[in-house]
Amino acid sequence: MIVRRKWAAPVLALTLATTGCGGGAGDKPAVAETFELTETTPAATGDVESVTWALPSGEPASLDPARTGDYSANTVGTNLCESLLRLNTDYSTSPGLASEVTQRDATTVVITVRDKVTFWDGSPLTAEDVVYSLKRNLDPKLASYSAHVFANVASIDKTGPLEVTVRFRTPDVQFVPDLAGVPGAIIQERYATKAAAAFGTASGGLMCTGPFRLGGWQSGQKITLKRNDNYWDAARKARAATFQFVFLTDSSTLTSALLSGEVDGVYGAPAGGMATLRRTDAGKLYFGPSTETVSLGAVAAEGPAADPKIRQALDLAIDKRSFVLSVLKGAGEPLKTFTPPLAWSGSPAKSVYDAGYAALPDTSKADLTRAKQLVTEAAPSRRDLVIALPAGDQSLLQTATIAQAAAQQIGLTMTIKQLQPAEFAGLFYDPTLRNGIDFIATTGYLEVPGALYYAPGFVLPGAPFNWTNYEDPDVTKNIGAAVSATDPAASARAFVAAQAIYGPAKLQITLAESYNRLFLNKRITGAPASFSYISSAWAALVGTA
Amino acid sequence: MIGFVARKVAAMLGTVVVASVVIFGALYLAPGDPASILAGGHEVTPATMAAIRAQYHLDEPFWAQYWHWVSGLLSGDPGTSMVLKVPVTTLIGARIGTTALLVAYASVLILVLGVALGVLAGAGGKVVDGALTAGTTVLMAAPAFVAAILLIWIFATRLAWFPVFGSGDGFGDEIYHLTLPALALSGGYLAYVSRITRTEVRAELAADHVAAARARGVPRWAVLRRHVLRNAAPPILAVSGVTVAGLFAGTAVAEQAFGVSGLGSLLVQSAARQDLVVVQVLSLLLVTAFVVVNVLVDLLNAALDPRLVKA
């Protein structure tokens, strides 16, 4: 067990949410809640017949990698369809279905496909399958969730019996780490073309190489994975003969099912049941480092939100520590910028990134005097703002309410607007839907490593998420250098230089990182506790305690 | 009688047609672009959006879209889920049995327990009546989701008599899994039916013909059966019918809370994901079930009391 960071919340009487399923969750003496962060749980000692795992986000819509990009689909799918690179618990990468991925120059990536890997049906993994799997992300008709990863790709070709070369129109060193996630997942061309639109659905099935194969998918009930006995990596062969996923979206029912042992484990254990789950002897609740963040994003090119002084004022008005205590129940920590440190913790240039992060101003404590002064200096044309969030998300509603209270303290009025999911999703591609909205409350995560995962999309002129029309020549120059540098240290230095400028501009008012919450029944162990599960074949590691 | 049945069926069809326009129209007018859901909420090019809109007829006027939907429904193809990319018939087929069983189970609980407790409260002594009145008050006040939390806590977590969640495999296992959901679902309705029964039984007991029968020395049970219950039956039946019809809507809460894979939880999940195609079909299905059960109750009442046919 690796203990990476430890953080003790200030001494405060915590209001522990009762889950309703009892267990006597109630008042506790005012003690400091400590959260010991761990990347992994103790290794499994033996094989286990069957494990039942809950998906709190509900049934996945599809297991086709092109349609995988959320909690449920990733939690299941990454155990079935492996990627070219493997994501480790510290967010470093190692070879996966590719024995080697080389960034030959700024615009060329060469992938060496691992030899003697077979699909579940026994047929060998070929370079053609890799070309097919990567290329389908370019097909506009498929509308792959990973399409943005391939935005700078010019060509993908087989260049040897087990070699694939990817060429880029513009340099993009983030592409290689992206291959550790769903964008780098490999499927069998023959099966996928035959299954066509049904590929990845409950009826169409899958054909991949992972440590588990898809055993069955009873729509609405459960997804069953069966161990792949011919898995290529003897060291990472699945410990469980069957792994069953059930869909439990009601947090109180889920907590009860974990307490009764009907469900063995869950990622994203309900925050409301945290106190009960920490006390039970049915199993253990682990906290791990994560890339999950909660932020307020400025989404207007005009008005107060487009003014960095107003954004900085709002940032200073919100006390991040109380935010963590009230919304995340203490299981998180304030962040200084939108790219969380786990994104680079496995990088060879980690020390450069860490120093850059440490140099950013710390605004975790509220400073109302300075915030009010900034509002006066900014002298905004209007003082009423609108913050939007997806309807029905309780923790984002709480977040927006905190922002509203903070805004009021510095002389701004903030109206909360809850949008239907389709409307909220629409904001991301239709600028007209953002009219009349200044901020959005949102959560996000990185499923792959890389400091350059977020930044280019947020800070470059004309970038997809640069909704305030932010433009700074030094930032543009340095991000450009960072995405084209093949030397990790050079890339890190350029990134850090850019971050030092755009970080304080608070394009995103990043409030906190939320720790990964993993609950394991006492009979099992081995699952990674860090958020790296989102892109790794984690279930293979789960066995008897 | 044939005219009566024809009138009822015509009214039922009319209701369903109006409901279909209202349901389709409500979701048509709902804020947000369904194409963004189809695109998965991710960045897409305008060309991709246009292709999606054309594929799902989202670029056509309202009545054209409505006609596509209704003609699909009539030909037995209600479409494909926008999110799950699976035919709606497949989704419904996999779940309808569970929901039907849950509604049947809850109906039996409501009818048997509700009527029995009502008769007991009406004909029993003061103590029995008081206890039952208090009990039914609590039941009526507790919403299904609160009842669900309590039932899970007591019978699943503490006593471990029943499973916390799931639908079960095979009839016996399904009944076992659906017991707590059926109790949570029937609670309020059961209390309501027992209250109505109690009132009707009370009224009948106070009637002259009952007093006369008693005076003639007819045994207490026979009076209850022949005179009281027979006359109290039609109003109880009418109320029970509406109650059972209403269960279809109530399944959403009970199924969601107990992780039961039925039409109700499918409706909740589809609504959360804005899977309009599924929401439209399920809403219409629930309205239809409600209307059909009501018509059946009307016909049953008419059979019991032929005077209603002429009315």
pLDDT category of residue A477 using cuts at 50, 70 and 90: very high
Range in A46-55, A228-237, B193-202 the model is least confident about: B193-202
Nearest CA in chain A to B52: A141
- Do residue A430 and residue B33 have CB atoms under 8 angstroms apart? yes
Q: What is residue A429's predicted lDDT score, i.e. its pLDDT? A: 74
A257-284: pLDDT as tens digits: 999 999 999 999 998 889 999 999 999 9
Residue A12 in this model has a pLDDT that exceeds 50: no
Residue B41 in this model has a pLDDT that exceeds 60: no
Residue A184 in this model has a pLDDT that exceeds 70: yes
Distance from CA of B114 to the nearest CA of A (A): 28
Q: What is residue A33's predicted lDDT score, i.e. its pLDDT? A: 67
Dihedral sign computed on CA atoms, order B147, B152, B158, B163: positive
**Cα–Cα distance, A513 to A357 (Å, whole number):** 14
Q: Which of B261, B270, B282 to mutate to probe the A interface, most A CBs <10 Å?
A: B261
Residue B39 in this model has a pLDDT that exceeds 90: no
pLDDT category of residue A20 using cuts at 50, 70 and 90: very low
**Cα–Cα distance, B13 to A478 (Å, whole number):** 68
Residue B33 in this model has a pLDDT that exceeds 80: no
Nearest CA in chain A to B153: A21
Q: How many helices (H) and strands (E) are present in chain B, helices listed first?
A: 15, 0
Q: What is residue A383's predicted lDDT score, i.e. its pLDDT? A: 92
pLDDT category of residue A334 using cuts at 50, 70 and 90: very high
Q: Is B87 helix (H, G, I), strand (E, B) or coil?
A: strand
Which residue type is seen at B15? T
Where in chain A is CATH 3.90.76.10?
63-200
Where in chain A is CATH 3.10.105.10?
11-36+291-514
CATH number of A11-36+291-514: 3.10.105.10
Q: What is residue B252's predicted lDDT score, i.e. its pLDDT? A: 86
Which superfamily, per CATH, for A63-200?
A: Dipeptide-binding Protein; Domain 1 (3.90.76.10)
Range B251-270 average pLDDT: 88
Average per-residue pLDDT for chain A: 90
- Contact residues on chain A for B257, CB-CB shorter than 8 A: 250, 252-253
pLDDT category of residue A21 using cuts at 50, 70 and 90: very low
Residues A399, A323: contact at Cβ < 8 Å? yes
pLDDT category of residue A305 using cuts at 50, 70 and 90: very high
How many C-beta atoms surround the C-beta of residue A382 within 10 A?
10
Dihedral sign computed on CA atoms, order B292, B293, B295, B296: positive
Nearest CA in chain B to A63: B84
- Do residue B37 and residue A61 have CB atoms under 8 angstroms apart? no
Of A201, A249, A256, which has the smallest distance from its Cβ to B85's Cβ?
Answer: A201
- Do residue B86 and residue A61 have CB atoms under 8 angstroms apart? no
- Contact residues on chain A for B33, CB-CB shorter than 8 A: 422-423, 426, 430
Higher-pLDDT residue of B174 and A476 is A476
- Contact residues on chain B for A422, CB-CB shorter than 8 A: 30-34, 36-37, 274
Range in A232-241, A321-330, B291-300 the model is least confident about: B291-300
Range A452-480 average pLDDT: 93
Residue A5 in this model has a pLDDT that exceeds 60: no
Residue A28 in this model has a pLDDT that exceeds 60: no
Residue A186 in this model has a pLDDT that exceeds 70: yes
Range A59-80 average pLDDT: 93
Q: What is residue B250's predicted lDDT score, i.e. its pLDDT? A: 83
Range in A52-56, A499-503, B180-184 the model is least confident about: B180-184
How far from B21 is each of A6, B16, B112, B248, CA to CA, in Å? 58, 9, 37, 20
**Cα–Cα distance, A487 to A492 (Å, whole number):** 9
Size of interface A-B (CB pairs under 8 A): 156
pLDDT category of residue B40 using cuts at 50, 70 and 90: low
Of B164, B167, B274, which has the smallest distance from its Cβ to A253's Cβ?
Answer: B164
pLDDT category of residue A168 using cuts at 50, 70 and 90: very high
Range A220-235 average pLDDT: 94
pLDDT category of residue A4 using cuts at 50, 70 and 90: very low
- Do residue B261 and residue A220 have CB atoms under 8 angstroms apart? yes
- Contact residues on chain B for A62, CB-CB shorter than 8 A: 84-85
Helices of type H across B80-141: 88-108, 115-123, 126-141
Tell me what percent of the residues of chain A surpass a pLDDT of 70: 94
Residue A8 in this model has a pLDDT that exceeds 80: no
Which residue type is seen at A261? G
The dihedral over CA atoms of A414, A418, A422, A423, expressed in degrees to the nearest 10, equals -40
Distance from CA of A95 to the nearest CA of B (A): 28
B204-222: pLDDT as tens digits: 888 888 888 878 878 877 8
Q: What is residue B311's predicted lDDT score, i.e. its pLDDT? A: 53
- The answer for residues whose C-beta is within 8 angstroms of residue B52's C-beta and 6 or more apart is A143, B35, B38, B39, B44, B58
Higher-pLDDT residue of A156 and B130 is A156
- Contact residues on chain B for A253, CB-CB shorter than 8 A: 148, 152, 164-165, 257-259
Q: Is A393 helix (H, G, I), strand (E, B) or coil?
A: coil
Residue A16 in this model has a pLDDT that exceeds 70: no
Range A314-318 average pLDDT: 96
Residues A296, A508: contact at Cβ < 8 Å? yes
Distance from CA of B79 to the nearest CA of A (A): 15
Range A317-345 average pLDDT: 94
Range in A167-181, A397-411, B265-279 the model is least confident about: B265-279
Of B32, B91, B149, which has the smallest distance from its Cβ to A20's Cβ?
Answer: B149
The residue with tokens 């109003």 is B235
Token couple for A211: 């440590």
**Cα–Cα distance, A528 to A339 (Å, whole number):** 22
A387-396: pLDDT as tens digits: 999 888 888 9
pTM: 0.86
- Do residue B36 and residue A430 have CB atoms under 8 angstroms apart? yes
Residue A253 in this model has a pLDDT that exceeds 80: yes
Range B18-34 average pLDDT: 82
Range A26-36 average pLDDT: 55
Task: With CA atoms as reference, report the closest residue to A94 among A114, A77, A79, A122.
Answer: A114
pLDDT category of residue A2 using cuts at 50, 70 and 90: very low
pLDDT category of residue B44 using cuts at 50, 70 and 90: low
Range B249-270 average pLDDT: 87
Of B94, B95, B259, which has the smallest distance from its Cβ to A253's Cβ?
Answer: B259
Task: Specify which of A474-483, B32-41, B235-244, B256-265 reaches the highest per-range mean pLDDT.
Answer: A474-483
B86-114: pLDDT as tens digits: 889 988 988 998 999 999 999 999 889 98
Average per-residue pLDDT for chain B: 83
Q: What is residue A377's predicted lDDT score, i.e. its pLDDT? A: 93
How many C-beta atoms surround the C-beta of residue A141 within 10 A?
11
- Contact residues on chain B for A429, CB-CB shorter than 8 A: 36, 39, 43-44, 49
Q: What is residue A18's predicted lDDT score, i.e. its pLDDT? A: 31
- Whether this model's ipTM surpasses 0.85 comes out as no
- Contact residues on chain A for B37, CB-CB shorter than 8 A: 421-422, 425
Q: Is A392 left (phi over 0), alpha (psi -120 to 50) or beta?
A: left
Dihedral sign computed on CA atoms, order A527, A530, A531, A534: negative
pLDDT category of residue B237 using cuts at 50, 70 and 90: confident
Of B37, B51, B262, which has the smallest distance from its Cβ to A141's Cβ?
Answer: B51
- Contact residues on chain B for A148, CB-CB shorter than 8 A: 42-43
